[in-house]
Amino acid sequence: MPGFAQRLSRVELAASVRMTIKARELQAAGKPVITLTTGEPNFDSPPHAIEAAHQAALRGDTKYPPQDGTRALKEAIQRKFKRDSGLDYALDEICVSNGGKQALFNAIMATVDPDDEVLIPVPSWIAYAQMVQLCEAKTVLVTCPQNNGFKPRPEDIDAAVTPRTKWLILNNPNNPTGACCSAAEIAAIADVMRKHPHVWLLSDDMYEHLLFDGFRHATLAQVAPDLRDRILTVSGVSKTYAMTGWRVGFAAGPKPLIKAMTVMQGHATAGIATVSQAAAAAALDGPQDGVQEQIVAYQRRRDMAVAMLNATPGISCHKPEGAFYVFPNVAGCLGKTTTGGRLLRTDEDVCLALLEETYVATVHGAAYHMSPYLRISTATADDDLEEGLRRIQTFCEGLR
């Protein structure tokens, strides 16, 4: 068999995907698996978005789209940035991609060379480091400790910058912790980055609307408008509107960067499905009632998860400000043996034992560059979440 490219050795299947696959295999074998791995809303897409896609198809809007997005969607994105963040972007400062992930990939591929460095506050979404490694560049991990609410400290970011630093990536709210920086905390990071004008700044705001307890979202370009010529802001409709399968993300930033990203996309996937773009425009411009319903549900589930996990022996759980994850510390479980006779040495051992002995699928914290933790998604039905948490409690009560 012919060989594969060396770049393939630098990446691997995401841990969340691997655990989801394992869970599906057990389900197929008839096991009562509860899957708490997937970062996907368990709500339906908005009816008006579905209808907009239907009408677009009926009127023949099914041809090749512009590589950077349809005018109708880009205008809706303009309105969204103005409405949510007070930001004004020209149409040529906006591009549409196949999900927010492709916007990130386009930006990194268009700017990062081998041996460049990218600063990633951790815990972080698995994909950032993988994308950087595909470019033969170096990931520089900046630890965000739990005693700081899993938020990056400006002095740690400052200390990590070198002449080879190309990007700082901020994910706010954060996957996997749900931590969300305030405007003041973002401003403190901006103060540090003013000292480093050679660094691009990426604000991944995919979970921007999923906030609890009255917490208000702020984004870097809004807080530090003087840095706007090197800030890329990424968002999309996947999480806010439960439209993961429509595959629509978008980015706004300086015209030269957006142009470079569009060139990169043109050689990978070209434009985004026209009917999906019609649906996304309708979601952005239409009624927002469904978003509020999701926020209420996610806050309720967060509260239940935090309370039940903190009542579980060997586990402590920080209360996140947003997103739909909790990131409990399982240090108290390590060094113990399960009722099935398995010695737990790492958070991955905990994760695998939970799946194989109690049929609860989670993701180990090491996959997000911080141990010993688990990521638990609360984007699932209340009853399933509660049952999964009960099984985790029973599992921990049985440790010896």
Q: What average pLDDT does the segment 137-161 reach? A: 98
Q: What average pLDDT does the segment 310-326 reach? A: 98
Structural domains in the chain plus CATH codes: 6-44+290-397 (3.90.1150.10), 49-285 (3.40.640.10)
- DSSP three-state, residue 339: coil
User: If pLDDT is split at 50, 70 and 90, which confidence band does 40 have?
Assistant: very high
d(CA 341, CA 360): 18
Sequence-distant (6+) residues with CB within 8 A of 368 are 122, 123, 124, 125, 126, 176, 375
197: left (phi over 0), alpha (psi -120 to 50) or beta: alpha
Write the pLDDT tens digit of every residue in 258-313: 999 999 999 999 999 999 999 999 999 999 999 999 999 999 999 999 999 999 99
Q: Is the CB of residue 11 less than 8 Å from the CB of residue 134? A: yes
For 142, the enclosing helix (H) or strand (E) is: strand 138-143
Which residues face 204 on adjacent strands?
171, 234
Give the pLDDT of residue 370: 98
Q: Is the CB of residue 367 less than 8 Å from the CB of residue 352? A: no
d(CA 70, CA 166): 30
Give the pLDDT of residue 220: 98
Give the pLDDT of residue 285: 98
Give the pLDDT of residue 16: 84
Q: Is the CB of residue 196 less than 8 Å from the CB of residue 101? A: no
Residue 208 has pLDDT above 90, yes or no: yes
Q: What is the DSSP string of 150-217?
A: T---HHHHHHH--TTEEEEEEESS-TTT-----HHHHHHHHHHHTT-TT-EEEEE-TTTT-B-TT---
